Structure 1
Amino acid sequence: MSVSFLAQRAVKLLVTLASIVIFIQGAFVIVTHQVLTKTFLTHDPIRMQKHLDRSKKSFIILLITILTIVAPSGVRITTDNRSIPKNTMVKDLRTGGIISSMKQKSVLISNHQIYTDWVFLWWLAYTGDLAGNVYIMLKNSLAKIPIMGYGMRNYNFIFMNRKWSKDRINLANHLGNLDHNARGVGRLAGKHPSLDIASGKEVWSDNGAATKDHRQIRWPYTLIIFPEGTNLSANTREKSRVFSEKANLPIFNNLVLPRVTGLRFSLQELRNSCEVVYDTTIGYSGVKQNEYGQDIYQLSNIFLRGHSPDLVDIYIRAFNLKDIPLDDEEEFTKWLLDVWHEKDKLLDTFYAKGSFDLDPNTHQVTTGTCKIKSSEVAQFLILPLLSLAALVAKILRSFC
């Protein structure tokens, strides 16, 4: 083996170890912040929520910090300016990142290719200063992970059993709370629902005006939903094909058939507060048509081996909630399948040309780097650097 090869391997190993140390120490800092918040601010729910939101923002800062060190990705965001105002996404010429002005209360739907799709979408919310207001639906088993599960429960993420009979009430209660806080008439405004003992459903009364608290009246949210419910893979594609043939539904080239019930229910529950539904389509460099991103960009490959996409393509368009047929299941199903058909055609173009290749007269393309502010990166590097300094000092003393 050459010296240069061994040096490259050594550097790669050091970077991997550094990312592990940064993640462990960063997670410890976040959870400690949450414990202190819930211990000392229980008497002040608004300040407590602001601190928990700050800890939520800290988590995506931690993840992007590690990605920036291990394997930075470029981003190319294409916005449909027929539904999204021009310059909603702009490049920060000073840092190379992206700054956005997305709506404060939104539902964001997307295709699902790799396990870190939600990381890039959460980062997208970060560009609009909404990282502390992101909500994600996750498998119930993830809530039981030591330490991490505790942290995610404090984020009020929605943990699902994937059985609608169980998930319906759980989802209704979470979304009811989200909706009422967003309108200034929820728990954070000092109001509380009654409980239907038989069903376990929280019943809200919308009587009364929003509380005029100078610290926060209405609470924003970005709810991220993957209607497919799972990553695209050989297994899920085949299951989707078989089901679609039996049910006489479309078979997509690049997508799994979306699930109607959960998305429709969520939009109905949030109809009084949601300003917009963002439809995003994600494509990754290095993945060819009929390949599977989840096989190429596995979690371990990304965070430990530095194998992440060089470029993440995100197409965004917007729908007004009043234009979506929520009250007619058949019409809503048709609407969602039409959205997925258009998304499938976009991905056909992406795999053929390497971009979405849309009309520049109606679409704006913004390129940058998936990164965060340097000042916010520092909060997760100080502790590891101090630890490293202490270790080096100890080693040097041992030689003295």
Structure 2
Amino acid sequence: MESCQPNGGLKHYPLTPLRFLRGLACLIVYLSTAFMCLVYFTPPFAVFLRLFSIHYSRKVSSYFFGMWLALWPFLFEKINKTKVIFSGEIVPEKERVLLIANHRTEVDWMYLWDLALRKGCINCIKYVLKSSLMKLPIFGWAFHVFEFISVERKWEVDESIMRKMLATFTDTSDPLWLAVFPEGTDFTEQKSINGQRFAVDNGLPVFKNVLLPKTRGFHACVEILRGSIDAVYDITIAYKNRCPTFTDNVFGVEPSEVHLHVRRISLDEIPSSESECHTWLLNTFKLKDQLLSDFISQGHFPNQGTEGELSTIRCLVNCITVIAMTLVFTYLTLFSSVWFKVYVAMSCAYLGFATAYNFRPVPVFGDFKSVSRKKSD
């Protein structure tokens, strides 16, 4: 049994016409709901309200973001019947955390939503992701509005961008789940071979199931957020029967099971210096490598079953609410006053401009929250 077979393996479910049509319908629903929610909610909440308070702008925007994002675990677990199995430690609800995870395939980051939803934090999850993803239609707009950190994967270019963005995440009253994939890219056999050669040449540990992690971005996150987050969650992800692609996820042909092993780490356990942090991260990925080897031989992680099932009723209510809002916005855009069409066009123009030039409004009179704090002092 293998945790991932990127280039082979049979699909768990056949791609039948019914499964194809169902997946296509889900994709249309998700794209249309994302588009309508973005164009209608961005101007009042992510632009106008942000002119007065970044905190309250994030709070309101993330509430609607969480409603939309919760549609995906509903698709995975309730519609596609993918088993998402958690193991390891049971982590508290609503902590501010930094997440590190291995990167088996292009959709690993989507299954972090299943854990975030169970912990009441799906609205505040953010990612460090490659800048090319910002060019995706609709989704790129969302990545920008919800303040994902885009990187070129060149530290001399990324350092100033990362530090500037991370500095805005230090307010402890803003919920935060910041996800980082230290390997920097998804796992393939060729990348693994290249990484093993590099490790041998440089006296580093040789891994079979993960790539060598990069330290600088992770160290910057720990350094800047150390006083404002509760913990680091170390998450190891494995799949049966094969690694899924995005289309596999949408049409429900893979994966049959997703396994997430969770380990909660205190900030005190992570060294402050970059060199010691590098050694700590290598040791952490050595543990991941062994966990994945054990998963391949045993078919499961230790201490599995730490999280329960999602509530079908809550998922349905959320789904119906999001679709109902989208239908209202669609009606207003297509069949109501021309001013709604103007509003949508202007919103699209703003989103395109803001994403392309990495623009976000700043409070014009100081943040209401900061001002009220000073008055109380």
Offset at 1:376?
1.0
Matches within 5 A, 1:219-258: 219-258=174-213
Deviations 1:45-76 (A, max 9, x none): 24322222123213422333443565232122
CA distance change for structure 1 residues 174 and 102 in 2, over 3 Å: closer, same or farther? same
- Aligned residue number for residue 298 of structure 1: 245
CA distance change for structure 1 residues 62 and 368 in 2, over 3 Å: closer, same or farther? closer
Matches within 5 A, 1:172-251: 172-179=163-170, 181-182=171-172, 218-251=173-206
User: What is the distance in 1 between the residues matched to 2:46 and 2:114?
Assistant: 26
Matches within 5 A, 1:41-120: 41-45=49-53, 46-68=55-77, 71-80=80-89, 88=91, 101-102=92-93, 104-120=95-111
- Aligned residue number for residue 374 of structure 1: 316
Q: Which residue identity lines up with residue 106 of structure 1 in the other structure?
A: V
Correspondence for 2:306 among 356, 365, 374: 365
Which structure: greater strand fraction? Answer: 1
- Whether the 8 Å contact between 1:72 and 1:369 is mirrored in structure 2 is no
Offset at 1:373?
2.6
Offset at 1:226?
0.8
Return 12-21 or 155-164, whichever deviates more. 12-21
TM-score (norm 2): 0.76
User: What is the distance in 2 between the residues matched to 1:131 and 1:219?
Assistant: 13
User: What is the distance in 1 between the residues matched to 2:269 and 2:104?
Assistant: 28
Correspondence for 2:38 among 27, 31, 39: 31
TM-score (norm 1): 0.72
CA distance change for structure 1 residues 244 and 123 in 2, over 3 Å: closer, same or farther? same
Q: What SS does structure 2 have at the residue aligned with 1:58?
A: helix
User: What is the distance in 1 between the residues matched to 2:132 and 2:82?
Assistant: 30
**Paired residues, number:** 313
Offset at 1:326?
1.9
- Whether the 8 Å contact between 1:105 and 1:274 is mirrored in structure 2 is yes
Offset at 1:350?
0.7
- Aligned residue number for residue 317 of structure 1: 263
Matches within 5 A, 1:138-177: 138-177=129-168
Provide the aligned C-alpha RMSD in A.
2.6
Larger-Rg structure: 1
User: What is the distance in 2 between the residues matched to 1:357 and 1:147?
Assistant: 39
Q: Which residue identity lines up with residue 333 of structure 1 in the other structure?
A: H
Deviations 1:102-139 (A, max 9, x none): 35211111111121111111231121111111110111
- Whether the 8 Å contact between 1:60 and 1:119 is mirrored in structure 2 is no
CA distance change for structure 1 residues 69 and 11 in 2, over 3 Å: closer, same or farther? farther
Q: What SS does structure 2 have at the residue aligned with 1:19?
A: helix
Which structure: greater helix fraction? Answer: 2
User: What is the distance in 1 between the residues matched to 2:140 and 2:147?
Assistant: 11
Q: What SS does structure 2 have at the residue aligned with 1:365?
A: coil
- Aligned residue number for residue 307 of structure 1: 253
CA distance change for structure 1 residues 107 and 23 in 2, over 3 Å: closer, same or farther? same
- Whether the 8 Å contact between 1:281 and 1:314 is mirrored in structure 2 is yes
Q: What SS does structure 2 have at the residue aligned with 1:137?
A: strand
Deviations 1:173-201 (A, max 9, x none): 1111101x22xxxxxxxxxxxxxxxxxxx
Identical residues among aligned pairs (%): 26
Return 264-273 or 363-372, whichever deviates more. 363-372
Q: What SS does structure 2 have at the residue aligned with 1:178?
A: coil
CA distance change for structure 1 residues 365 and 146 in 2, over 3 Å: closer, same or farther? closer
